[in-house]
Amino acid sequence: MVVIILKQIENRHPKIRRKLLAPFIININPNKVTFIALVCAFLSGYFFYTDYLVLAAIFLALNGFLDVLDGEIAKKGKPTKRGDFLDHSFDRISDTAIFVGLAYNPVMPTELTLMTLICVLLVSYLGTQAQALTDKRMYGGVMGRAERGIILFAAAITTYLFMEVLVYSLYLIVILSVITFLQRFYSLYRDLKD
């Protein structure tokens, strides 16, 4: 619900995002920011694995923030195909690092975590497949990267109060990712006319 509200605010008031990020936009190669975001994802995955969930959540949030920031920095300069390639490739590596860390956490159900990763990668695949076929990246659906990050962040923080919340968050991500996959699949199939 919170994610939907945030999306509606961003869609209605796109200047808010730019104003919030403005103090952080510096003259730096956005690919360096993308790389730092990747390092944060690996640290998040490591801390999920070692069960330091607050640290995992902090580095997960940093990964998400830097992932948004690198795009804004790129827009201020001249976005490149190489930068876009690195950004999307590192996003998939980041997702994998985070969920593999969760999968190897001794208290997490490995099969569920790996199934979640597969669903996440399939949703992302349709986004890039749309770009390959239509020249437009597809971000639609109820469960994107930002929503996953918010759910995992909240679950990691609240796990100390409710032990099962992290497991339930994975079920939620799987369900919403399957819905998103179907939404994107149908939308892309409909848009492709032979």
Active-site annotation, residues: 91
Query: Residue 155, class by beta-carbon neighbours within 10 Å (0-12 exposed, 13-18 middle, 19+ buried)?
Result: buried
For 52, the 3-state DSSP assignment is: coil
Please name the residues in contact with 41: beta carbons below 8 A apart, sequence gap of 6 or more: 59, 60, 63, 93, 94, 95, 97, 98
Q: Retrieve residue 102's tokens.
A: 């969760």
Q: DSSP of 107-147, one letter per residue?
A: TS-HHHHHHHHHHHHHHHHHHHHHHHHHSS----SS--HHH
Angle 81-103/145-158 helices, nearest 10 degrees?
Answer: 30
Q: Retrieve residue 157's tokens.
A: 């923080």
